Structure 1
Amino acid sequence: MATSSIECDVRARIVDVADRLFYARGIQAVGMDAIRTGAGVSLKKLYAAFPGKEQLIAAVLAGRHDIWERGVRGAVDAATTPRDKLLAMYDFLESWFGDDAFRGCGFINAFGELGATSPAVAEIARAHKDSFQRFVHQLTADAVPDPDRAEELAAQLALLAEGAQTTAAIAGSTAPAVHARRAAATLIDAATRA
């Protein structure tokens, strides 16, 4: 049976509200009743759309993954050279860190809250981070002809991006993206000269 557009709208509204609440307050601090109230749906409709909180968390994280990919790919696609494409990731981070709603990486936050007790959430977080690692590796392969150096550079650049996200969330500053970009430029230049 096909899902109606009304059901899709209800699901989207629930996911949007859950995303905002989870990201602002933390997943465990937000109950399904708060999501129901925020989405303006009955408890019956909420549980028809998402039989349990873990399914809702998975939908929220899937949405966050899509937003992340569109943002980082958009920044990278706007750059022209392989080096600039790698550095564009950090420009994207700086812009994201400057958003008043920024509270760190939703996947790191979810893993920190639930990774030890929810294998599903842990796997979603790992898959997201692995996807980013593969993306960075594709970019480094264009910049560095030696496959081993490209792989090592990708790991280093991804680690800089991850560390910048965590540090920016704690510090409440965009500076970690600037510092990570400078460090990335040094690593890229060293790898391309070698």
Structure 2
Amino acid sequence: MAETIHRALDAVYLACIWVAGTCIFLMSLFIPWGIFARYVLGTGSQWPEPISILLMVIFTFLGAAAAYRAGAHIAVVMLTERMSSGVRGVMAFAVNLLMVGVSAFMVFYGIKLCIGTWGQSIPELPWLPVGLTYVPVPLGGFVTLLFVLEFLFYGDQSQRNVVQFDLLPDSEEKAA
């Protein structure tokens, strides 16, 4: 059972990394295009800035969830490193319970935010509902919640090798 959960969350983790990386890649294309269009072509494109902001929001919330699972999220350990191992364990458990609370808050109120702003639109992108731009908040909260629960029930996963998923079936690999 634990192996099945780890494999499923490995897939979620890898998806978060790929989506976050794709967002950064696209931002690195869209922002220079906006600058080029404004200063070289003399016609400013209205879409690069709001799309890049949306990509940054996606990158932030999914990237933070992946960083939590990888044990690479920002942590201030100056105080905890000076405590005994027993106190450190209690503090780590308390931090993870707080993470459950923060993640649940993001899911619950993020969904309310999405629903409440769905009928609004961004002036530069009238086809895009504002509520859709807030979807990364509850989604990132949900993924973080999954990773925190995995940590609480199965321990730290940051030192475990992530299962690699083959993109090619065995028959195609042998032919290559």
Tell which structure's C-alpha radius of gyration is larger: 2
Please give the TM-score of this superposition, normalised by the length of structure 1.
Answer: 0.31
Q: Which has the higher helix share?
A: 1
- Compare relative contact order (CA 8 Å, sep 6+) and give the higher one, 1 or 2: 2
